[in-house]
Chains A and B, each alone.
Chain A
Amino acid sequence: MKRLAIVLLLLGTAPLAAQAPPAVTLDDLKTPPSPAFVLMGIAPTSVERPTTPRALGLALLDSVEGNNGNSALPQDLAVELAPYWLSPRPDLTFDQYDRPGFWQGLRQSLSVSLATKGDDGTAATTSSTAPTGTLLGAGARASWMLGKRSQLANDVLAAYRAKVTKMLIDAGPPQPGQPASAGLPADYQDQLRPFATSIVESLKQGRWIVEMAAATTERFPGNDTSHSEVEKTAAWITPSYRFLRSTFDPKTGKLTQVPTVDFIAVGRYIHDRTATDDRDGIDVGGRLLWESTFFSLSAEYVQRFNIAEPTHRLTGMVEYKISDNLYLSGTFGKDFDDPTTEQGNLQALLGLNLNLGAKPQVLGPALQ
């Protein structure tokens, strides 16, 4: 029996695919930016992002002091940091940063996420078997950019350097006691900012980026640090390629606003001990995504292995930006089979999402 479900979520923040039945509901193909938070369902807006060792120390201290001596575990900690960038890197040139070797690429892109979620007591009231105690999550993510810079990126860099060189020559040699900006045009920031945007975007086009992430969560029953149980473990690998489509105007420093086309492949493994069955799903698939300023279209195929009855999902997705925080989204196609229900797996979901924060990437739900 097939199911046709049309859901209209007015001004809701709930993810659309949360309506879908699969036991493992990790629906965003992209590697999560903060894998530990994804596993734990922590909102990214509440995350501390220290950029110095001192700031990291203060964040940890705050979380320990916040538990009022009730537990040896820090409570409600959510920290994400990039260890390589906690220290100054005055010798790292742009070329070394943009074209690193494999290990250097991993070092400079590595980010670590760490979080704890205190027991708020709701689990005990909703189910006598629900786990209690502090939940600890840890994750890591890194990426590696493959291939040489595109001609587009080289053109943008050459134009930027020509622009800067002319500005500096016009300013003349530095004089004693003058500030570094002396002689530069009053609007030099406005003149150069478009080049920064264009450099960042052009470096992504025409290249493969391989992103890898892993995370695990552990429950500490009774907040006893001597005993813990692993709840979820997950690993992702997502090679992606953004097709080279923009052109560049060296006078303005801007890239043409053309729709981007991305291909994203995915491999992911999720071990979920809180699930009653199919605890070790492996997903392999890919997505082709076309995206303009207001409109995006994508098609996705994902095969799920290593469960009792292997299944696949084949869906098309559409998203239209109504305003900066309001998106109309639709998903159509066949979802994963769900052996726990008699219902079919035809997907036809339509929703209106209010997003307070970053733009969703067509589908943005987290693993619940």
Chain B
Amino acid sequence: MSEVIQGDTVERDYEVESGIVMLNIIVGEGQAGASVVWLDNQVIAKGDLGPVTLGPGAILTGRVLGIRTIALDINPMTNRTAVTYILTGGATELDVTLTKDAPQDGAAVPYAARFPLVAKGANV
């Protein structure tokens, strides 16, 4: 069940373990999108992305996953835009959807997400 946020930014800690952490980005509402993914300051993926393998939790701990996405309103049926970020392979699955209306047809809507990757139990 995705957490839905009416807005264009999100920041959440994500607890990692030893498993391989995966990121999936879904630009919804039929809109055209593109994203860039950083680990700290290093670009690790860009474009119209499918699932991205981030690596085992052990080498991710303490790093920050940063993502920027732009959704372009090309769907004449709606001005809604939405981006869903899904992280798997950690202690739990993180599934968060950001949604925002384009101010007009053809407008671009930028989104930004930060996920500090922390060891399981670090936030206790």
Residues on A close to B: CB < 8 A? Answer: 51, 82, 84-85, 88-94, 96-98, 108-109, 157, 160-161, 164-165, 167-169, 171-176, 178-182, 184, 188-189, 192-193, 195-197, 199-200
Given contacts A91-B84, A97-B75, contact A168 B68 (CB under 8 A): yes
CB-defined contacts of B118 to chain A, threshold 8 Å: none
Cβ-defined contact, B34 with A90, below 8 A: no
Partner of A199, one of B2, B32, B111: B32
CB-defined contacts of B48 to chain A, threshold 8 Å: 94, 157, 161
> From residue 1 to 22 of chain B, which have CB atoms closer than 8 A to chain A?
2, 4, 8-9, 11
A173, A182, A192, most chain B CB atoms within 10 A: A173
Partner of A174, one of B34, B68, B76, B82: B68
Given contacts A168-B36, A197-B106, contact A178 B112 (CB under 8 A): yes
Is chain A's binding surface mostly helix, strand, loop or mixed?
helix
Given contacts A165-B34, A165-B47, A199-B72, contact A192 B29 (CB under 8 A): no
Cβ-defined contact, A173 with B68, below 8 A: yes
CB-defined contacts of A196 to chain B, threshold 8 Å: 32, 72-74, 105-108
B29, B68, B69, most chain A CB atoms within 10 A: B68
Cβ-defined contact, B97 with A90, below 8 A: yes
The complex places the Cα of A259 from the Cα of B111 at a distance, in Å, of: 37
Partner of A90, one of B26, B72, B76: B26
Please give me the residue from chain A that is nearest to B65 by CB atom. A173
Cβ-defined contact, A174 with B47, below 8 A: no
Beyond the given A90-B28, A176-B114, A196-B107, could you list 15 further A-B residue pairs with CB under 8 A, ordered by the A residue number? A51-B78, A89-B30, A90-B82, A92-B30, A94-B27, A157-B32, A160-B72, A164-B34, A168-B36, A168-B68, A176-B11, A182-B112, A193-B108, A196-B73, A196-B105
Cβ-defined contact, B70 with A167, below 8 A: yes
Cβ-defined contact, A85 with B9, below 8 A: no
Cβ-defined contact, A199 with B74, below 8 A: yes
Please give me the residue from chain A that is nearest to B28 by CB atom. A90
Given contacts A174-B9, A199-B32, contact A90 B41 (CB under 8 A): no
